[in-house]
Chain A
């Protein structure tokens, strides 16, 4: 073999590498998006990060550099730390309930029955309503004096007298979980339904001939088939629920006392009720680090080649 002859493939560029002219063109078309990212995302984030090292309240005419004091305060303040626990309860409760109900509803909508199209369309209703409107609808339904939930529960004998759901710790948490779940079900159902429709229905028929019942088919065939959908919806659900603000603010405002004061509410309170921008930024930074592992997991799942 002629040693001067390049080996096959040696002369080729690695995939993803561009020629010089192409690279310049790539930067030009990338520039608007990069500029928007820098102004709208990167700069506010860096500014907030730097602010977390300052004390900046209504009493401080200028931000005062205090190093890691804000973080020390957060990590020693049981009330602020409690927000992480509240957030964890809200995120876990909402994500799990939404996944369970979203999958159940998708399984129902996957069945062949008259009016399926109408039902599927109606399912999207909570998704297209503004979330604050949904929150007020639920607040009204859960109202202690004239809410329909109280009426129904009293009619079936579950309670003897009306309950002020939004005025007690557990009731308020259940209310925000239910409301957020109700709004999220359409999106989750769509993911699961898309996953189900990608399944070869003959697999289910083969299992029926093999003698498998509904539960076994769900456990042994449908759930393994939907594993990638679970990973993506789980990650997306957790990210969305960790960022949740409007429903909780409209429904409970973080109360009663601090029962539903999740991180987003805590940042809002620190920034716009206590006017402590440094502390709000520090909570925000820790909040981002809480989100980070889930985001990384989600992006890895999304771009994994197989």
Chain B
């Protein structure tokens, strides 16, 4: 187990800066997920921790030691790749032994550690097979096994489940979570899938264009996103955003005009707001109620209804803005007609012109 610290880490490829001074503290034994859209720099950041990518500026610390200039093999890390990166001409056993052989470990130690890892990952019957004779899930388990035998201080996972089908992805997700509970090592996991991030992480790091947007527990990111990007990225389907105009504002309350003309008063920090200012109101699809029952009622013209059995998604229109509603499978909404929906004020998020969140008083635990 070891903690990981990034101290103002910058990465430039030629003239192009892709990571802009990232500071991050990862506690020993935690499961941290880097999440963000394609090209946000999450894999580059992981590869810099691994030592596979040079750090242009700043420092990387593992277990208190500065490893910025250290070789990948000297950092005490193990890495699982998206492509599995198994050695195709070697058997599962040889794949798992390779790192220990290179380290000059005695044969008995190698055999013992491979056997232990094989037992943890249920690979006992597959040790003499070649990677091409394994399924995608089995290959990924071998890739994890190859990392386990080296007993690294920190495990790094670079989108390890992206090549698997949906069912296997869920299964492997659970297996990796169990593995973390069993081994207790620090694990850093990169994914673009926010469901993976929400279900696996102790702490999520949301990245956009080489910058950290927010760091926090999955539920804190869900309930209290610090900006519009995080609010839109965490949660599926993504949060609805509606333009609103400030009518009146004070330190403890804000009155807003919705695009359908109605005014709503929120218990929010309006000290810095002025009348006429354009804001965005965010409301998650699962926080919209079919019919009455909320504090604010809106009428949506519903054009698409997706019934998935347990859940129903309704796609409606509010004065030219699409609004998605997530409801239970019992909901019956007629397509092509206007229907009434509502929401509670405490579920609302507010964002200013700079996409930063404005604090709204809520009775929901964050």
Contact = CB atoms under 8 A, between A and B. Distances in A.
Interface of A: 200, 202-203, 205-212, 216, 220-221, 224-225, 227
Contact of A212 (B51, B81, B102, B150): B102
A207 B98 contact: yes
Given A202-B85, A225-B88, A210 B50 contact: no
Interface string B88-130: 1100000000110011000000000000000000000000000
Contact of B72 (A202, A209, A220, A224): A209
Contact of A210 (B73, B82, B88): B73
A211 B99 CA distance: 7
A209 B87 contact: no
Contacts of B71: 208
B35 interface: no
A202 B150 CA distance: 18
Contacts of A216: 102
A206 to B, nearest CB: 4
Nearest to A205: B52
B66 to A, nearest CB: 19
Interface string B73-87: 100011101110111
Contacts of A206: 79, 81, 85, 87, 146
Contact of B150 (A205, A207, A210, A224): A210
Given A211-B99, A211-B102, A211-B103, A205 B85 contact: yes
Nearest to A224: B89
Contacts of A227: 89
Contacts of B50: 209
18 contacts: A202-B83, A203-B88, A205-B85, A206-B87, A206-B146, A207-B87, A208-B52, A208-B73, A209-B72, A209-B78, A210-B73, A210-B102, A211-B73, A211-B99, A211-B103, A212-B73, A220-B87, A221-B87
Interface in B35-82: 50-52, 71-73, 77-79, 81-82
B83 A200 contact: yes
B interface majority secondary structure: loop
Nearest to B14: A114
Contacts of A210: 73, 98-99, 102, 146, 150
Interface residues of B, number: 23
Nearest to B152: A209
Given A203-B87, A205-B72, A205-B79, 6 more contacts: A202-B85, A206-B87, A209-B77, A211-B102, A212-B73, A221-B87
Contacts of B83: 200, 202
Nearest to B71: A208
A210 B147 CA distance: 9
A220 B103 CA distance: 15
A209 B53 CA distance: 12
Contacts of B88: 203, 225
Nearest to B100: A210
A206 B150 CA distance: 12
A211 B150 CA distance: 11
B157 to A, nearest CB: 13
Contact of A208 (B72, B86, B103, B150): B72
A203 B85 contact: yes
Contacts of B102: 210-212, 216
A146 B98 CA distance: 54
A210 B77 CA distance: 9
Contacts of B103: 211
B62 to A, nearest CB: 13
Contacts of A220: 87, 98
Interface in B163-185: none
Contacts of A202: 81-83, 85
A125 B79 CA distance: 42
A226 to B, nearest CB: 11
A216 B103 CA distance: 12
B11 to A, nearest CB: 16
A210 B102 CA distance: 7
Nearest to A211: B73
A205 B77 CA distance: 13
Interface centre among A210, A212, A227 (most CB of B within 10 A): A210
A202 B71 CA distance: 16
A202 B72 CA distance: 13
B76 to A, nearest CB: 10
Contacts of B99: 209-211
Contacts of A225: 88-89
A203 B146 CA distance: 12
A200 B85 contact: yes
A111 B102 CA distance: 23
A305 to B, nearest CB: 14
A227 B150 CA distance: 29
